[in-house]
C-alpha cells in the first residue's frame, strides 16, 4: 500500500525557516518524481514544487522560487522541502504527492505551516 | 502560465441526479509527447486530494464508473452520472502539461 506521511510543520515567525519531510513507503520511491502542493486556509490547491526521480530536475512556482528548495534522499525514501524567508502568505497545509500522469496519484494527509508573529 | 478556469464554482445537486463540471485552459494542453495531461481531483472535507481522472478520461484505480472525463485541447468536462452522498466535496481540474502546474479554482459539489 502506497503511504506518504508529511511532518515538520508548525508555527514560525515571518522571515523564519522550516524543513518539511515526507516519508514514503509501499512503492519504489527512487523510480518516481514527487510533488509538493499547498492549500491556504479556505482556499484552493496550489502547486509548489516538483523533483524528478534522480533529482536531475527541480521545478518551482514563482511564488516560492529562491526561497524554497526541494530535495530527496532515495536511500531514506524521503522527500524534503526546505523553506526560508517565510511569509504570512506561505501559511498553508502542505501535501506531498507521488507524481504520475502529469498529476499526483497518491497524496499524504498534509502538514500545517503557520507563519505568524 | 496556463490558467485553468472551472465552471460552475458551486453545484447543488439532488442525490441520484447527474452533475457536470467544466474546465477550460488558456492554451492547449497537448504535450509534445502527444498526451494531454489534464486530470481531475476530488477533495472531501478535511481530506487530502484524491485523483479521479488522468489524461482527460482515464479513471484511476478504485474510482467508481459513475465518474467520467472527456474533452480535448482546451475544453474538458467531468461528469458524475448519479451523485451519491459521498461525492460531496470540492473538485479540481489540474494541468500537468507544462510547468508551473496549475489548478482550477475548484467546484464545490453539495447536495440540495
Identity of the residue in A45, A59, A106 whose CB atom sits nearest the CB atom of B99: A59
Per-residue pLDDT, averaged over B19-23, amounts to 98
Q: Which residue of A has its CA nearest to B37?
A: A102
Per-residue pLDDT, averaged over B40-68, amounts to 97
Per-residue pLDDT, averaged over A63-73, amounts to 98
Residue A97 at interface with chain B, using a CB cutoff of 8 Å = yes
Q: Please report the pLDDT score of residue A88 as a whole number.
A: 98
Chain B partners of A105 at a C-beta cutoff of 8 Å? 51, 54, 60
pLDDT, tens digit (0-9, with 9 covering 90-100), for B66-89: 999 999 999 999 999 999 999 999
Which residues does B91 contact at the CB level (< 8 Å), separation at least 6?
Answer: B6, B21, B40, B41, B42, B43, B52, B78, B106, B107, B109
Q: Please report the pLDDT score of residue A58 as a whole number.
A: 98
- The reply to whether residue A45 touches residue B106, judged by beta carbons under 8 angstroms, is yes
What band does B54 get if pLDDT is binned at 50, 70 and 90?
Answer: very high
What band does A78 get if pLDDT is binned at 50, 70 and 90?
Answer: very high
Which residues does B96 contact at the CB level (< 8 Å), separation at least 6?
Answer: A101, A102, A103, B37, B38, B39
Please state, rounded to an integer, the average pLDDT across all residues of chain A.
98
Q: Please report the pLDDT score of residue A6 as a whole number.
A: 98
pLDDT, tens digit (0-9, with 9 covering 90-100), for A2-25: 999 999 999 999 999 999 999 999
Q: Please report the pLDDT score of residue B75 as a whole number.
A: 98
Per-residue pLDDT, averaged over A16-42, amounts to 98
Q: Which residue of A has its CA nearest to B46?
A: A109
The residue written with cell numbers 445537486 in the block is B13
What band does B34 get if pLDDT is binned at 50, 70 and 90?
Answer: very high
Residue A112 at interface with chain B, using a CB cutoff of 8 Å = no
Per-residue pLDDT, averaged over A66-82, amounts to 98
Buried b (16+ CB within 10 A) or exposed e, B26-36: eeebeeeeebb
Q: Which residue of A has its CA nearest to B38?
A: A102
What band does A108 get if pLDDT is binned at 50, 70 and 90?
Answer: very high
Per-residue pLDDT, averaged over B89-104, amounts to 98
Chain A segment 40-69 residues within 8 A of B by beta carbon are 44-47, 50, 59-62
Cell of A19: 524543513
Amino acid at each position: 500500500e502506497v503511504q506518504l506521511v508529511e511532518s515538520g510543520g508548525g508555527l514560525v515567525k515571518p522571515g523564519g525557516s522550516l524543513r518539511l519531510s515526507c516519508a514514503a513507503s509501499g512503492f519504489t520511491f527512487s523510480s518516481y518524481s514527487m510533488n509538493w502542493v499547498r492549500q491556504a486556509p479556505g482556499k484552493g490547491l496550489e502547486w509548489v514544487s516538483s523533483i524528478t526521480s534522480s533529482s536531475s530536475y527541480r521545478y518551482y512556482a514563482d511564488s516560492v522560487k529562491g526561497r524554497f528548495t526541494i530535495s530527496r534522499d532515495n536511500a531514506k525514501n524521503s522527500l524534503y522541502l526546505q523553506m526560508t524567508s517565510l511569509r504570512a502568505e506561505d501559511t498553508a497545509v502542505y501535501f506531498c504527492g507521488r507524481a504520475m500522469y502529469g498529476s499526483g496519484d497518491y497524496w499524504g494527509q498534509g502538514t500545517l505551516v503557520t507563519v505568524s508573529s | 502560465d496556463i490558467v485553468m478556469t472551472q465552471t460552475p464554482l458551486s453545484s447543488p445537486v439532488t442525490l441520484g441526479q447527474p452533475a457536470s463540471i467544466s474546465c477550460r485552459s488558456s492554451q492547449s494542453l497537448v504535450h509534445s509527447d502527444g498526451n494531454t495531461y489534464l486530470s481531475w481531483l476530488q477533495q472531501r472535507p478535511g481530506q487530502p486530494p484524491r485523483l479521479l481522472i488522468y489524461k482527460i478520461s482515464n479513471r484511476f484505480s478504485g474510482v467508481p464508473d459513475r465518474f467520467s472525463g472527456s474533452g480535448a485541447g482546451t475544453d474538458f468536462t467531468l461528469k458524475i452520472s448519479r451523485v451519491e452522498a459521498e461525492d460531496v466535496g470540492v473538485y479540481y481540474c489540474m494541468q500537468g502539461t507544462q510547468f508551473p502546474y496549475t489548478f482550477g479554482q475548484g467546484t464545490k459539489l453539495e447536495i440540495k
